[in-house]
Structure 1
Amino acid sequence: MLETVLLKFGLDISDCLVLPVGNGLINQTWKISHRNREYILQKVNTDVFKEPNVIDENLNKLKSFLEQHFPDYIFVAPLKSPSGHTLIETEEGAFRIFDFVKNSITLNTAEDAQQAYEAAKQFGKFSRLLSGFDASTLHPTIPDFHNLQLRYNQFKTALESANAERLKNAAEAIEAIEQQQYILQKYLDILSQKLEVPLRVIHHDTKISNVLFDQNGKGLCVIDLDTVMPGYYISDVGDMMRSYLSPVSEESTDFDQIAVRKVFFMAIYKGYMSEMADILNATEKDLFIYAGQFIIYMQAVRFLTDYLNNDVYYGARYETHNLDRAKNQIRLLEEYTEHGKDLHLMIEQIGDLTNIS
């Protein structure tokens, strides 16, 4: 398979060292060493990204903008093949190739607050540099990806069709989700523009493994750009809150270990705002803490919905896997909300956001 693909990119597999890399769950990835150059080859998962050409078009638009306005920024965009295409579609699938960023590393988890700061700064920088780009010209690569209204409606539909045993097992989690509907209501206020929150170019998948770091732990740029599309900034900030704040992951069933590490919260705030404080409007800034509630709640809803639907989306390693994931996120949401006043006070004590460094 790869021999034909590499030839289309002008590379002879007999002259290449090919190694599978990464632990991503979506796309298939290989590192290609060819003479004095290194590349990353990816096969796009078309089960998730139904129209890979849409991603390709988005990335080429963004690349053109950044090359014109911020040529020094490391934008890891697909390279052109000898035929001039940045996406090669074959019988085996859709492929693209990137330059490998030398002397860069990735992290699987945010192990300390400085790493969280650097990651948040890079995601903020990405949106800041693209704040002059018309987000409406980008295609949604996963329609309704962070549409909380849709996710809640799917949850309500699942309640109507779920079997009695799963409804009984999930009764406490269902009640917790329904008690937190104010989070949905605030999102509806954003959609209706009762709250003035503009569409921006947003990454939508801000786990720390989507940041490249240098050997000294400094952030270089963001990667895995397939989910870049129009969105609200709360998606990026909220996903960092969900991913970085707790010392245990969404897979943990030791719920007593779930906690909000306030030093990580402040690292996210300072890192992101060091880039975006001059870009966000007053309403957006007021929603910074809400961003965490928004994404954590939505993920809890999605896990619970899948459990009620017999695990048809995420799959499950054991019968209550998605229910346990939902309970994990509900507990994180409760911890996060409980500390809300403290988090507000910490932000207030920083003072003028534009002077963060």
Structure 2
Amino acid sequence: MTNSIYTAPPSVAETVLPLFGWQQPALSIEQFGSGLINSTWKITAVTGEEFILQKLNMQVFTDPGSIAANIQQIAAYLQQHAPGYLFAAPVEALNGTTLVNIEETGCFRMFPFIKGSVTKDVVATAAEAYEAALQFGKFTHLLSGFDAAQLYITIPSFHDLSLRYRQFLQALQNGNTARIAEVKEQIEQVEQRVSIVQQFEAIRSNPGCKLRVTHHDTKISNVLFDEQGKGLCVIDLDTVMPGYFISDVGDMMRTYLSPVSEEESDYSKIVIRTDIFEAIVHGYFEQMKTDLSAEEIKLFVYAGKFMIYMQAIRFLTDYINDDVYYGARYPKHNLVRAGNQLVLLQQLLQHEKALHHIVEKVCS
């Protein structure tokens, strides 16, 4: 293994790679990407071939077989109905499966690395937002003929806003009383926006709002770009489940519109970039305009309110519950995150009328 670079546990090289047919030591195994859930490495073979190896977080994904089954179904459908679409299908292990579960080590899978592809962690330009939105819209559009009900639910109630609000109310009953007193202002802000929950419940009973194959995690790092900045495809399909379009559009708005992330503690930096919003609308509608009903199009701006509000609730609930879900890297970390999202929501509401005009202009 001379001249090799290893930033992964020895068990990955010695135990996992042979199960995928590796006969020689890897030239390099390096940590890859910025994901917070799964452990990911880029593997380079002595032949020059490159692969992505992932260890699934089984505390989050308790049934990895369901994820594998979903990806296999989607891969088969796209191969038949959209053979030209770039889809990074998982590599089969020697036992014929796409997952290997090693006792006391973990559950692993491998994908081919798309040569010349790059990922981005932050949306810097409207062009990047457009390309990302186009790719997420294209993914859902190409799967419009696929019965979403066939997919397994990999994270139950992941984007169930009604459940998140009930969990918030339970935290007010059973959580840390000192913290509840401390965050009275934030609690009032959440309670004042309960109409966002009521609208979500109306969507779930509205036949004009369709359950589709939905990615559910549309941050820009889940899009592969080429070296010229053009989108290639979407990746990280662990959360692909039946869902409403507001999940994908809302998560793009939540993570693209402001130049700073949910971690920013200087709330004066949180602003709505309307050029980024317009780019999202153009990119997503280019693929999905004919798929969306008139009722869904009217919900485009609501999608941002839905996702931002839900994330604010989740951070605030976790803070009240002593940081048992997200954890905290420093005191009041989740309170900072909750406040960040509440400011972002307020900024979105202030721009709501202008954003609706953008949607109307693009759709006309």
TM-score (norm 1): 0.96
| Matching residue of 2:189 | 176
Greater CA deviation, 182-191 or 248-257? 248-257
What residue is the counterpart of 1:355 in the other structure?
none
Letter of the 1:55 counterpart: I
Q: Please list every run of 5 or more consecutive structure 1 residues that lacks an aligned counterpart in the other structure.
A: 353-357
Query: 1:5-84 maps to which residues of 2 (within 5 A)?
Result: 5-34=16-45, 35-84=47-96
Q: d(CA) in 2 for partners of 1:151 and 1:286?
A: 24
CA distance in 2, matches of 1:203, 1:13: 36
Displacement of 1:199 in angstroms is 0.6
Q: Which amino acid aligns with 1:63?
A: A
**Aligned partners of 1:154 and 1:77: how far apart in 2?**
37
**For 1:238, which of 231, 241, 250 is the aligned residue?**
250
Equivalent positions of 1:88-237 (< 5 A) are 88-91=100-103, 92-193=105-206, 196-237=208-249
1:341 corresponds to which residue? 353
Q: CA deviation at 1:345?
A: 1.5
Matches of 2:358 and 2:109 in 1, distance apart? 44
Contact 1:119–1:208 (CA under 8 A) maintained in structure 2: yes
> Aligned partners of 2:184 and 2:144: how far apart in 1?
44
Q: Give yes or no for contact 1:148–1:184 (8 Å, CA) kept in 2.
A: yes
Q: Which amino acid aligns with 1:118?
A: E
SS at match of 1:14: coil
- 5+ residue gaps, structure 2: 1-10
The match for 1:332 is 344
Secondary structure of residue in 1 paired with 2:25: helix
Decide whether the 8 Å contact of 1:316 with 1:322 is kept in 2: yes
Distance 1:10 1:174 in 2: 54
Deviations 1:122-155 (A, max 9, x none): 0000000001100000001101000001100000
Task: Decide whether the 8 Å contact of 2:282 with 2:362 is kept in 1.
Answer: no
Measure the CA separation in 2 of the matches of 1:13 and 1:284: 53
**Structure 1 residues 20 and 334 mapped into 2: Cα distance closer, same or farther (>3 Å)?**
same
> Which amino acid in 2 is paired with 1:108?
D
Aligned length: 351
- Name the aligned partner's letter for residue 31 of structure 1: K
Counting aligned pairs with the same residue, the percent is 54
2:273: which partner in 1?
Answer: 261
Distance 2:24 2:217 in 1: 32
1:110 alignment partner AA: V
- SS in structure 2 opposite 1:94? strand
Paired with 1:308 and 1:202, the residues of 2 have a C-alpha distance of 31
Aligned-partner Cα distance in 1 for 2:233–2:51: 17
Return the TM-score normalized by structure 2: 0.94
